[in-house]
Amino acid sequence: MKARAKTMIILLILGITGLNARNRWVSGTVSDENGQKLIGVSVVIKGSTRGTVTDARGHYQIALMPKDSHLQFSMIAFETVEVEVGTQSRIDVVMAASASELEEVVVTGKGSVSLLGRFSGHSVSHNRRMMKTASPMAYADCEMVPLLHNTENYTSIHENGFKDVLRHPLSTFSVDVDRASYANVRRFLNAGQRPPADAVRIEELINYFDYDYPEPVGSRPLSVYTELSVCPWNTAHHLLHVGLQGKRIDKRKLPASNLVFLIDVSGSMSSANKLPLLKRAYRMLVKELRPEDRVAIVVYAGAAGMVLESTPGNKKEHILQALDMLEAGGSTAGGAGLKLAYKVAQENYIEGGNNRIVLASDGDFNVGLSSNSEMERLVEAKRKAGVFLTVLGFGMGNYKDDRMELIADKGNGNYAYIDNIQEARKVLISEFGGTLFTIARDVKFQLEFNPARVKGYRLVGYENRLLNDEDFNDDSKDAGEIGAGHTVTALYELIPAGSEEELKDIDPLKYQLSADHEGESRPKADPLAELLTVKLRYKAPDAEKSTKMEIPVQGKLLDLDKSSDAFRFSAAVATFGMHLRESDYCKKTNMEEVLAMARKARGKDEEGYRAEFIRLAESADEF
């Protein structure tokens, strides 16, 4: 018995030693020649796709296997550095500026730019001879484009204020199933940085989480859920929670898919958190394909081209081989890539199927059609052909969130940001149906508030999804799409009827009667009256005429501690987002209260996403 115990101890020690040998860690910092720490440097183990990026302090940490011998450090505008690891556990690196990358010429007129890297399975090198022999007139139409750091773009957000119900009884907006903002905010916080205020879209933070609303009944693809309680960040107000649930569909029963992978292989996609991560994400998606599904691959850099013609889903090795050949290099002709992708999708169109382009990029387009207005007109024209769009954002430093969001919104699509392989798995595997299969399009909400119950209201988030009231009944107005199993949540902060709180006022009207907020025109508060009516419009994926749902809501007020986990957790996420945006509407709360509410409302959390949110809120508390 003693001998056996001794043997077990020896084996345990050997096992631990072996484990440590397999998981040796190397860390360090990366800086430029002036000693400035570099953020977002790609650190990759040579000969593999395993890697990481430096954080806000220029620090990195990476696990090595025994066979791993060299680390490669790369970043746009710097010379790549390769270091032999040996027995070192700390490696600090100084990177020198790359004159050749800073002087890259993007030809926008008579000249041309060749595609770098591998394209259609063939290696292509930079055609410097062509550039040297170009005519003087060609250079007159050239633009020198230096590659800059920290050029991320976000659409400005002006936070919604309170509306007087007497003057504005209707609130109309398009649904939003995008979750990109949450993953992008997580990327900033994990790097020890406060995200820019305009990167924080509160509705996308809330909608990142599933709230398990009641399933739709009958033939309707959507169901509506409401709940009313005290507003956690201002207890003198009420908070209305409106939830929308899309019908869940078994993945095996989804219609056949005609997918076009549209992949940015330009030079800006070279770092580990861009093209290498993108390829891993697409590999996971390919493994989910069925024989009846089809995939084509279109890429773009200085030009656009087809790497793989539409191929059945059972030829996975052929598809994966085409993916593996892709390398990054060159400028970014995103408009040309989109045009070609739509053409390929239409050529292989499946009647009654899921026809969709899956675009993956950092959004940094700089050749041909590249402005936001040009991209908007392009996708608006193409979406009428019945091809949907999923947009996947990658990278940091030069990320163009505003453009990626616009392309998805105008192209009958959805938008996610992929900051790690776990997020790729969530978007493309766990939420496959919601991400890639639309069950309802042009989905709009219109809420009519009863002035006997509500004096004023404020929609939390959705600032870039607001519609005119008359747009609700106009089927030509574009709105959001809902995928299979998707949930959408909207929160309204309400000032109850009878409150003495003043709302912003306007001068009395000269030519018509106007409501006097202190006069008798405001109805008497009636807690037994209906709170509001919720109206919803949607179209079937292949329909042009919308269907309307109308739900009267009595609106029983619950004590906050009697409200559902979904109510309190969504409120915690909203408060978190308002704190990151430094909102004027949540100055009575702090992050500790957010954490306390989120912990108590964590509820069912099989995937651990809510636990991760709590950790993020803890890290954000220092801001």
Q: Grade residue 341 by pLDDT with cuts at 50, 70 and 90.
A: very high
In the sheet that 70-74 helps form, which strands lie side by side, from edge to edge?
A: 51-53, 42-45, 70-74, 81-84
47 and 111 belong to one structural domain: no
Residue 440: is it exposed, middle or buried by C-beta count within 10 angstroms (0-12/13-18/19+)? buried
- Domain with 138 in it: 106-144
> What gap in Å lies between CA 323 and CA 321, rounded to an integer?
5
68 and 118 belong to one structural domain: no
172 and 267 belong to one structural domain: no
The pLDDT tens digits of the residues spanning 363-391 come to: 877 545 556 677 788 888 877 788 989 99
Under 8 Å between Cβ of 309 and 297: no
469 and 444 belong to one structural domain: yes
290 and 212 belong to one structural domain: no
pTM, two decimals, is: 0.76
The pLDDT tens digits of the residues spanning 517-541 come to: 444 477 899 999 999 999 999 999 9
Number of domains in the chain: 4
Whether 518 is covered by a domain: the verdict is: no
542 and 393 belong to one structural domain: no
Residue 101: is it exposed, middle or buried by C-beta count within 10 angstroms (0-12/13-18/19+)? middle
Q: Grade residue 331 by pLDDT with cuts at 50, 70 and 90.
A: low
Answer yes or no: is pLDDT of 487 > 70.
yes
Whether 389 is covered by a domain: the verdict is: yes
Q: Are strands 170-174 and 547-553 parallel, antiparallel or unpaired?
A: unpaired
One-character DSSP codes across 363-378: ----SSS-SHHHHHHH
Q: Are strands 487-496 and 238-246 parallel, antiparallel or unpaired?
A: antiparallel
Whether 490 is covered by a domain: the verdict is: yes
Whether 431 is covered by a domain: the verdict is: no
543 and 609 belong to one structural domain: yes
277 and 401 belong to one structural domain: yes
244 and 262 belong to one structural domain: no
pLDDT of residue 200: 97
> What gap in Å lies between CA 407 and CA 409, rounded to an integer?
6
Final residue belonging to a domain, choices 57, 74, 95: 95
Q: Report the 10 Å Cβ neighbour count for 224.
A: 21
> Which CATH number covers residue 559?
2.60.40.1230
326 and 359 belong to one structural domain: yes
Whether 274 is covered by a domain: the verdict is: yes
Q: Report the 10 Å Cβ neighbour count for 473.
A: 14
Q: Residue 368: left if φ>0, alpha if ψ -120 to 50, beta else—which one?
A: left
Distance between start and end Cα atoms, the chain: 58
> What gap in Å lies between CA 31 and CA 39, rounded to an integer?
9
Q: Is 464 helix (H, G, I), strand (E, B) or coil?
A: helix
Residue 587, CB half-sphere, CA atoms under 13 Å: how many?
3
> What gap in Å lies between CA 501 and CA 340, rounded to an integer?
56
152 Cβ partners below 8 Å, 6+ apart? 196, 199, 396, 397, 398, 399, 400, 401
> Which CATH number covers residue 335?
3.40.50.410
Lowest-pLDDT range, 93-102, 176-185, 253-262? 93-102
> What gap in Å lies between CA 480 and CA 461, rounded to an integer?
15
In the sheet that 557-558 helps form, which strands lie side by side, from edge to edge?
A: 163-164, 454-460, 487-496, 238-246, 222-230, 557-558
Q: For residue 25, give Cα distances in angstroms to 20, 64, 241, 366.
A: 9, 6, 46, 39
583 and 465 belong to one structural domain: yes
> What gap in Å lies between CA 493 and CA 455, rounded to an integer?
11
The pLDDT tens digits of the residues spanning 195-224 come to: 999 999 999 999 999 998 999 999 999 999
Under 8 Å between Cβ of 332 and 371: no
